[in-house]
Amino acid sequence: MSTDEPSITLYRLQACPYCERVVRTLEQYNLTYRSRFVEPMHSDRNVVKRISGKRSVPAIVDTDTGVTMSESGNIVTYLDRTYGNGGEN
Amino acid sequence: MVEFDVVEFEPADAPTAGEVAPDFTRPLVNDEYWENTSLSAVTADGPTLLVFYSMNGAFPATYVWNELRDREWSDLLSVVGITISTPYDHKSFLDDRNLTDVSLFSDPSNEVAADYGVAHDLDGMAGVSEPRLSFFLLSEDRTIEHSWIASEWPEFPDYDELEAELKDAL
């Protein structure tokens, strides 16, 4: 809604360890991101299905690179490669 | 004739028409997710009706949101509510009341209502404070165009009058 939206959006579930793992990586690289919390009920996560094709969280959307991705292992690897050692930021 | 013992509120210490409504950031819940959102980000999209109301589950909450849904004010401007209920509760409330075009701020501490001068300590519910029913019609820069604040508990606005004010301001 505002003009200074961060490029990374994290779809997450409260108290989900896999989501927290992604959060730790985002913080490690000082990335600004916004959090969108969804419901525990898998069937109620239509927004996640719509953006990523799956209802699993965490899922991230990075509008800087055009990447949408789910599963914490994949996301952490992506963040390491894109923003970690050897990356621009 | 039955005499009702209506509770009168102390006069509200709320911002009035012409003043800029205080900004705040709280989780804003829609029918799919919630996200920290500022009031100013909502108003930046256009005129906004900010509704402080009783916690979900109380009958005034049901009355107010059924009325707002049936009047379809969200076709005219952004309609956002705020009360002390949690995001999970808001999400169920939106589903249960078929509210698809409005969103609800979650403020369990009731600090925003206190900041607006419309907090109300509930008798018989120790430690629980909730907003008194209040409507603030805001322009894009959060200037208050019109407001209505309950002076009794419970009290409801004249919705036709409010709708006239709203259409007048748009």
Q: What is the mean pLDDT of residues B123-134?
A: 96
Chain A residues closer than 8 Å to B38 by CB: 2
For residue B86, pLDDT over 90 is answered with yes
Cα within 13 Å of Cα(B123), Cβ side: 5
Stated pTM of the model: 0.93
With a pLDDT cut of 70, the percent of chain A lying above it is 92
Using 50, 70 and 90 to split pLDDT, how confident is the model at B2? low
Give the β-pairing of B78-83 and B103-106.
parallel
Closest C-alpha to B81, from B16, B122, B133, B129:
B133
For residue B1, pLDDT over 80 is answered with no
Q: Which two tokens stand for residue B70?
A: 């049936």
Which strands sit side by side in the sheet containing B103-106, from one edge to the other?
A: A67-70, A59-62, A8-12, A33-37, B34-38, B25-29, B103-106, B78-83, B48-52, B134-138, B144-149
Residue A2: what pLDDT?
47
DSSP class of residue B141 equals T
For residue A86, pLDDT over 70 is answered with no
Residue B25: what pLDDT?
98
Class of domain B22-169: alpha beta
Residue A43: what pLDDT?
87
Q: What is the mean pLDDT of residues B10-31?
A: 94
Chain B residues closer than 8 Å to A34 by CB: 35-36
ipTM of the complex: 0.89
Q: Which CATH architecture has domain A8-59+67-83?
A: 3-Layer(aba) Sandwich (3.40)
Domain positions in chain B are 22-169
For residue B160, pLDDT over 60 is answered with yes
Contacts of A73 (CB under 8 A, 6+ apart): none
Cβ–Cβ of A1/B32 closer than 8 Å? no
Convert the pLDDT of each residue in A23-81 to its tens digit: 999 999 999 999 999 999 988 899 999 999 999 999 999 999 999 999 999 999 999 99
B interface with A, Cβ–Cβ < 8 A, is 27, 32-38, 40-42, 44-45, 87-88, 91
Using 50, 70 and 90 to split pLDDT, how confident is the model at A13? very high
Q: Tokens 């419309």 identify what position?
A: B118
Chain B residues closer than 8 Å to A41 by CB: none
